Amino acid sequence: MEGKLETPFQMENTKVWIAGHRGLVGGAIAKRLSRENCTIVTIDRDELDLRDQVGVKKWLEKEKPSIIILAAAKVGGIVANSTQPADFLYDNLVIETNIIKAAHEIEVKKLLFLGSSCIYPRDAKQPMVEEELLTGPLEKTNESYAIAKIAGLKMCEAFRTQYGCDFISAQPTNLYGEGDKFDPEMGHVIPALMVKAHKGKLNNYSKLNVWGSGTPKREFLYIHDLADALVHLLKNYSGKSHINIGTGEEFSIKQLAEKICDVVGFQGELVFDTTKPDGSPRKLVNNSRLAELGWNSKTSLDEGLAKTYKWYLDNVS
């Protein structure tokens, strides 16, 4: 396979910058990297705004990490994406542009850019192989986010082609887990439904409001599986193509809502609010390339949901 390394890339004694360490993805990567013999560097948002080009360059020139994991992004669920398209496009484009360009200038050894399965066309053939990129129109509800992520992965490709930089990109499916944003309006479906079901249980509500028709299908990847896959990619891959990361399993939103009610212990009825958008009908990725590199996901949705709810109870509710 193109890009598969015969000798693994050495992470031992390297300095790794996790851009976005406070987020769902960045937090899980920090935890996973604590098992590698490397030094992690981070900087908080109030000390460095990643949209500030000069500030990013100065910080990188001072720290000189040899690896960058670009997990910083403006993210949110379907309503956040469709109501704030300017912020999703601008913030994400400028963050990735600043970091990727400066990474080249300070000659980092390796950079890993995080994208999302929403880069693929709305009606892409399922499960979506990497070559489905740019073969058709995008899903409208997250077009801005997708365009920014496509630009980021193309930037990694372009810096590799023109300057020989070892920049790779990963496109994970819908993520969830400890450290997520449990916001019922702006969050993704799992944390949003968990909060709603939890409040419903506490208040003895008879109904749970589920957005859309309940028929769209999604592939959900547990955040600690993602972090493990990213470290695997860093060590074993150095190619031009982006790489999908998923579980190979999809569930309808109705099935997901039922599972969340079970985990939470909410016994009311599901009510589907079709005034809210469904988004893409399906977003299942083909994981063959990642499997060829030797990685498969481990955590079932049931297990991941139980761990996530426990974390929510201990840390948020």
Minimal distance, residue 141 CB to ligand GFB, in Å:
6
Minimal distance, residue 214 CB to ligand GFB, in Å:
7
Nearer to ligand GFB, 55 or 85 (CB): 85
Told to check if 309 binds ligand GFB by CB under 6 A, we report no
Minimal distance, residue 129 CB to ligand GFB, in Å:
18
Told to check if 174 binds ligand GFB by CB under 6 A, we report yes
**Residue pair 177/223 in contact by the 8 Å Cβ criterion:** yes
Q: Which of 120, 145, 222, 237 is catalytic?
A: 145
Neighbouring residues of 140: CB distance < 8 A, sequence distance ≥ 6 = 82, 122
Told to check if 276 binds ligand GFB by CB under 6 A, we report yes
Told to check if 133 binds ligand GFB by CB under 6 A, we report no
For residues 244 and 56, give the distance between their C-alpha atoms in angstroms, rounded to a whole number.
Answer: 28
Nearer to ligand GFB, 65 or 77 (CB): 77
Using CB under 6 A as the criterion, what x/- string covers residues 150-169 for binding ligand GFB? --------------------
Q: Is 176 a catalytic residue?
A: no
**Residue pair 108/66 in contact by the 8 Å Cβ criterion:** yes
> Which of positions 219-258 make contact with ligand GFB (CB under 6 A)?
253
Q: Which residue in 17, 182, 211, 222 binds ligand GFB (CB under 6 A)?
A: 211
Nearer to ligand GFB, 25 or 189 (CB): 189
For residues 159 and 68, give the distance between their C-alpha atoms in angstroms, rounded to a whole number.
Answer: 15
Binding segment (CB under 6 A) for ligand GFB, from list 57-65, 92-100, 207-215, 221-229: 207-215
Alpha helices in the chain (DSSP H): 24-33, 53-63, 78-83, 85-105, 143-163, 189-202, 223-236, 253-264, 288-292, 301-315
Told to check if 33 binds ligand GFB by CB under 6 A, we report no
**Residue pair 5/237 in contact by the 8 Å Cβ criterion:** yes
> Which of positions 96-125 make contact with ligand GFB (CB under 6 A)?
116-118
CB atoms within 10 A of CB 278: 17
Beta 15-19 vs 67-70: how paired, if at all?
Answer: parallel
186, two tokens: 């702006």
218, two tokens: 């999604």
For residues 233 and 131, give the distance between their C-alpha atoms in angstroms, rounded to a whole number.
Answer: 19
For residues 245 and 122, give the distance between their C-alpha atoms in angstroms, rounded to a whole number.
Answer: 18
> Which of positions 41-100 make contact with ligand GFB (CB under 6 A)?
77-78, 81
- Tell me which residues are annotated as active site: 145
Query: Binding residues for ligand GFB, per CB under 6 A?
Result: 77-78, 81, 116-118, 142, 145, 174, 187-189, 192-193, 210-212, 216, 218, 253, 276-279
